[in-house]
Amino acid sequence: MKPKIQEQIEDLLLWRDPDSRILLRQLAEEHCVPVDALMELLAFMRESQTKLRTRGITETCDDVFDNQNYWGT
């Protein structure tokens, strides 16, 4: 995971709590979704919460979903 992404989510209970993290990984695996992709989207959404308008959401989502490192296609 990118250090910038790590910094943006490290305070979340979902990331800090071992049981929550295990559950997240299990659910992600069950649905074939890379955890790093989820974390990148989560970090972006947290960053966007403080803005009046969410700009770049389509581009960010496209970047994550087109990232071959996450999806291996």
pLDDT in tens, 30-70: 999 998 898 888 888 888 776 655 667 778 888 888 888 88
> Nearest 5°: CA angle at 8, between 66 and 71?
20
pLDDT in tens, 7-17: 888 888 777 88
- pTM, 2 dp: 0.62
Q: Which candidate, 5, 70, 4, places its Cα nearest to that of 37?
A: 70
Contact 22, 16 (CB under 8 A): no
Kindly list the domain boundaries of the chain, sorted by start residue. 3-71
Contact 20, 27 (CB under 8 A): no
Supply the pLDDT for residue 65: 85
